Chains A and B, each alone.
Chain A
Amino acid sequence: MLFSSQIFILLFLPLVVGIFHSLPASAALRLHLLTFASMVFYGWWDPRFLPLLVVMIGANWLIARAYSRSGRSALISIGVALNLAVLGGFKYANFFAEAVLGVMGVEFQRWSIILPLGISFFTFQQISYLVDLRRGEARVYPFADYAAYVSFFPQLIAGPIVRHNELIPQFARLAARIDAECVARGLVLFILGLCKKVFFADELAPLADAGFEIAAAGDLPQTALAWQSALAYSLQLYFDFSSYSDMAMGLAGLFGFDLPVNFDRPYRATSIREFWRRWHMTLSRFLRDYVYIPLGGNRGGRVMTAVIVLTTMLLCGLWHGAGWAFILWGGAHGLAVCVNQLWAAGGMKMPAGVAWALTLFFVIVAWVLFRAENLADAARVLQAMFSNRGGVLEPVAWLYIVIGGLFALLGPTNAEFAHGRWVAHRGAAIALGLALVLVVLRVGQGRGLEFIYFQF
């Protein structure tokens, strides 16, 4: 079920939160409730995938326990390989088979494989846990803790990618009274995230889709429409994904937990490296700690570092989707990061405004690769953006883009809002109550859009 659906907001969430807070302050009881609720939440999408989640949790925990008893690091390698194999089987089998057979000139009929929701997120979490175990940075947790950690529904489908040592130690809080301020601010953050998703991201979606749909039909959109689509998508993606993270953090707050921040006004970045420190921060952190540094990081000279950066970003692209457009998108960002590093290493500087504009321009253009169904569609949109095909600026569309842009650039993040002083007033509580009703009324039409990152 979607966070932005009435079934979730009016039934599932009140029920789970209500029971949770009615239970005596027992860590075990509350933990079991959360795990059970998470399984219901996940099974609601498609019960066929529930066994996969349960088996993956069980298998990883057994491997971790076996490793802790035997100390054989091969077990960790097997565990990591198992996770990658499952992820690869579901997500990349078609892509690689098509690529390999294509090179051999063999026509390939795609297998009918449905991607389990959130698989990229929960496999990454479990890989990071196994690797930390081998590094001596983790211990074997009780199974109930581990299962609750991986399946914790606020972050299960689309992150943030929470580390074991960020969440599991917090389970100790369940044995005491949950902090009322944490619950209240969590509720506020959840409502703000909902509003951002429903009133911004979903409203921008048709403006973004317009140009890409024309490209998908094999035509060239007009230049104005192509830019409208690229800009609207840049904002839609940010609002959509960051709103999910806001809601995840807010929901965690309702149970007394803190989740890591995932976005920090990324479109304010004045370099591409800074962009990645602000965008999907938990993924950047994962890639740094489990790909970039293990590959050698910046220890091998400039050329080697550039190769490692490029490899990391190509994998980042591939993680987002099994398609050449995603790989190209990752590669483009990798190259940009390399250029950025060389520029910085050379001691060169440019005015902050120019750096910001250049960074934002690159990010927006690269999102075209990210959004398009394939390279051909992306090429058509890019061609339209950088040619003179005219077109009329739709005032309403551009008003949305300008307002959204100002909000993304100048406004505080929802997390800052929720933790600000203004929110503590009674009037704010009533206004947020009204906002909750408005957003529930809007999602009641049942035409809400899924979160973009669900596909990854």
Chain B
Amino acid sequence: MTNWPRYTRTLLSSATIIGVAVLVFILVMDPYQNVPFSPPLDRAPISSNQRFAYPAIARDEEYDSLVLGTSTTRLLNPAGLAPDAARFANLSMNSATAYEQMRIHEVFVRHHPAMKYLVIGIDGTWCDRSVTPQRYTFRAFPEWMYDENLYNDLLYLFNDKALENAVRMLELFRGRREPKYDRNGYHDFSADFNSRDEAGVLERLAPLARSTPVRAAVRPRRARSGNEFPSLASLADLLARTPSTTRIVLLLPPLHVHFISRKRALFSECKGKLLERVQGDHRIDVLDYFFASELTRSSQNYWDILHFTRAVALLIEDDISNVLAGRAPHPQYARFYGRSEAD
């Protein structure tokens, strides 16, 4: 004969004990580094979803400068960007929408009112013609991590993903796992490949080679009237919310020439609009690699049409550092619209 009240108590108390144990474990491991009262341990970004891993870096006072963008700027190593003692974090997120970039920028600005440098990768994300550009990708985006209140984050931490990341954090503490990203958000994803697969790269580039032959270098054109780029208005908002003392570089990354030739008209207009918008803003330099050049023509420089190699990243880092120091970039690869020239 079953004692049913005791049975119910056993069921509920076992669920409570297991549940509380799991919750305590998650809070102690603090996988997203957003638990206000977690014990001070040597944590690092552990979540594979950058949208969960980066808010903690954006709050970290260790950094005073920021790289924003998508995967096209992920290979820029923060260590090579600053011309001085500035400390960059690279919070470029794969396929980040304009909205997502604005959100991470908001967090960074909130915690770094004296931000020194800001580098923004201007790729297709900002040249989207959609009247209402999409806010999110298929990846989860935790809005609750991007507000000022860390305590409301606690409501969202009791789930299996947080548990999985808490276990990863434990493995990190025990030396059995590497951080997913460096503490400044950087990760050289090209290092994940053992060697550059030349045949694979050419295969990925081949279908695009049939596109329109590349003509002369792309010249920025003014957008036709009525042809707005809503995301550029968002970019203007983002720039307006950036501290007035911050030096800003808008970087048009060197995508492969096959991509450039396909999107030439769109990007030409977008660039024109961009230059119009930043005209007169003495904080901003525009560094443009988005045209046919020796750099963008060489398949050796690419993994696929959107992603250049680490060697190219080094060159860009050098240029950014030079521009921030008031020097000119490599003239054969980059167009430079400096603060005075953009006027």
Chain A residues in contact with chain B, CB under 8 A? 6, 180-181, 183-184, 187-188, 424, 426, 429-430, 432-434, 436-438, 440-447
Contact A429 B160 (CB under 8 A): no
Q: How far is the CA of A441 from the CA of B159 in the complex (A)?
A: 4
Question: Of B7, B15, B161, which one neighbours A445 at CB under 8 angstroms?
Answer: B161
Closest CB in chain B relative to A333 CB, distance in Å? 36
Contact B4 A433 (CB under 8 A): no
**Is B85 on the interface with A (CB-CB < 8 A)?**
no
Q: How far is the CA of A409 from the CA of B5 in the complex (A)?
A: 34
Q: Which residues of B lie under 8 Å from residue A442 when comparing CB positions?
A: 159-160
Q: How far is the CA of A424 from the CA of B10 in the complex (A)?
A: 11
Q: How far is the CA of A447 from the CA of B10 in the complex (A)?
A: 30
Q: A441-B160, A444-B158 are in contact. Are A184 and B7 (CB under 8 A)?
A: yes
Contact A433 B159 (CB under 8 A): no
Contact A424 B7 (CB under 8 A): yes
Contact A429 B10 (CB under 8 A): yes
Bin chain B's interface residue count. Answer: 20 to 34
**Is B22 on the interface with A (CB-CB < 8 A)?**
yes
Closest CB in chain A relative to B231 CB, distance in Å? 25
Q: Which residues of B lie under 8 Å from residue A181 when comparing CB positions?
A: 2, 4
Identify the closest chain B residue to A6 (Cβ): B158
Contact A433 B14 (CB under 8 A): yes
Known: A184-B5, A429-B11, A433-B15. 4 other contacts (CB 8 A): A429-B8, A432-B15, A434-B18, A444-B160
Q: How far is the CA of A440 from the CA of B20 in the complex (A)?
A: 12
Identify the closest chain B residue to A182 (Cβ): B4
Closest CB in chain A relative to B181 CB, distance in Å? 21
Q: Which residues of B lie under 8 Å from residue A441 when comparing CB positions?
A: 22, 158-160, 163
Q: Which residues of B lie under 8 Å from residue A187 when comparing CB positions?
A: 8, 11-12
Q: List 17 A-B contacts (CB under 8 A).
A: A180-B4, A183-B4, A184-B8, A188-B11, A429-B7, A429-B8, A429-B10, A430-B10, A433-B12, A433-B13, A434-B15, A434-B18, A436-B15, A437-B15, A437-B19, A445-B140, A446-B156
Q: Which residues of B lie under 8 Å from residue A184 when comparing CB positions?
A: 4-5, 7-8, 11
Grouping DSSP codes into helix (H, G, I), strand (E, B) and loop, the A interface class, with mixed when no group exceeds half, is helix
Q: Which residues of B lie under 8 Å from residue A444 when comparing CB positions?
A: 156, 158-160, 162
- Give the most central of A181, A426, A437: most B CB within 10 Å: A437
Closest CB in chain A relative to B172 CB, distance in Å? 21
Q: A434-B15, A445-B140 are in contact. Are A424 and B158 (CB under 8 A)?
A: no
Q: Which residues of B lie under 8 Å from residue A440 when comparing CB positions?
A: 19, 158
Q: How far is the CA of A273 from the CA of B330 in the complex (A)?
A: 78
Closest CB in chain B relative to A136 CB, distance in Å? 40
Q: Which residues of A lie under 8 Å from residue B19 when comparing CB positions?
A: 437, 440
Closest CB in chain B relative to A441 CB, distance in Å? 4
Closest CB in chain B relative to A429 CB, distance in Å? 4
Give the 10 A-B CB pairs with smallest separation, nearest first.
Answer: A444-B159, A433-B14, A433-B15, A180-B4, A429-B11, A429-B10, A441-B160, A424-B2, A436-B15, A430-B14
Closest CB in chain A relative to B54 CB, distance in Å? 19
Identify the closest chain A residue to B8 (Cβ): A184
Q: How far is the CA of A183 from the CA of B7 in the complex (A)?
A: 10
Closest CB in chain A relative to B342 CB, distance in Å? 42
Q: How far is the CA of A426 from the CA of B158 in the complex (A)?
A: 26
Contact B4 A430 (CB under 8 A): no
Q: How far is the CA of A252 from the CA of B13 in the complex (A)?
A: 21
- Chain B, residues 15-32, CB within 8 Å of chain A (1/0): the string is 110110010000000000
Q: Which residues of A lie under 8 Å from residue B5 when comparing CB positions?
A: 180, 184
Closest CB in chain A relative to B136 CB, distance in Å? 12
- Give the most central of A424, A430, A432, A433: most B CB within 10 Å: A433
Q: A181-B2, A442-B159, A444-B158 are in contact. Are A437 and B8 (CB under 8 A)?
A: no
Contact A432 B140 (CB under 8 A): no
- Give the most central of B16, B160, B163: most A CB within 10 Å: B160
- Give the most central of A181, A184, A188: most B CB within 10 Å: A184
Closest CB in chain A relative to B91 CB, distance in Å? 23
Closest CB in chain B relative to A431 CB, distance in Å? 9
Q: Which residues of A lie under 8 Å from residue B2 when comparing CB positions?
A: 181, 424
Q: How far is the CA of A441 from the CA of B166 in the complex (A)?
A: 13
- Give the most central of B10, B12, B163: most A CB within 10 Å: B10
Q: Which residues of A lie under 8 Å from residue B159 when comparing CB positions?
A: 441-446
Question: Of B4, B11, B160, B162, which one neighbours A432 at CB under 8 angstroms?
Answer: B11
Identify the closest chain B residue to A7 (Cβ): B155
Q: Which residues of B lie under 8 Å from residue A429 when comparing CB positions?
A: 7-8, 10-11, 14
Q: Which residues of A lie under 8 Å from residue B7 when comparing CB positions?
A: 184, 424, 426, 429
Q: How far is the CA of A445 from the CA of B156 in the complex (A)?
A: 7
Within 8 A of A (CB), among B153-188: 156, 158-163
Identify the closest chain A residue to B161 (Cβ): A445
Q: Which residues of A lie under 8 Å from residue B8 when comparing CB positions?
A: 180, 183-184, 187, 429
Q: How far is the CA of A181 from the CA of B8 in the complex (A)?
A: 9
Closest CB in chain B relative to A185 CB, distance in Å? 8
- Chain B, residues 21-49, CB within 8 Å of chain A (1/0): the string is 01000000000000000000000000000
Q: How far is the CA of A445 from the CA of B160 in the complex (A)?
A: 7
Q: How far is the CA of A438 from the CA of B14 in the complex (A)?
A: 12
Q: How far is the CA of A446 from the CA of B163 in the complex (A)?
A: 15
Closest CB in chain A relative to B167 CB, distance in Å? 12
Q: How far is the CA of A442 from the CA of B19 in the complex (A)?
A: 12
Q: How far is the CA of A438 from the CA of B22 in the complex (A)?
A: 10
Identify the closest chain A residue to B164 (Cβ): A441
Q: Which residues of A lie under 8 Å from residue B14 when comparing CB positions?
A: 429-430, 433-434
- Give the most central of B4, B7, B13: most A CB within 10 Å: B7
Q: How far is the CA of A136 from the CA of B19 in the complex (A)?
A: 52
Closest CB in chain A relative to B4 CB, distance in Å? 4
Identify the closest chain B residue to A185 (Cβ): B4
Closest CB in chain B relative to A203 CB, distance in Å? 13
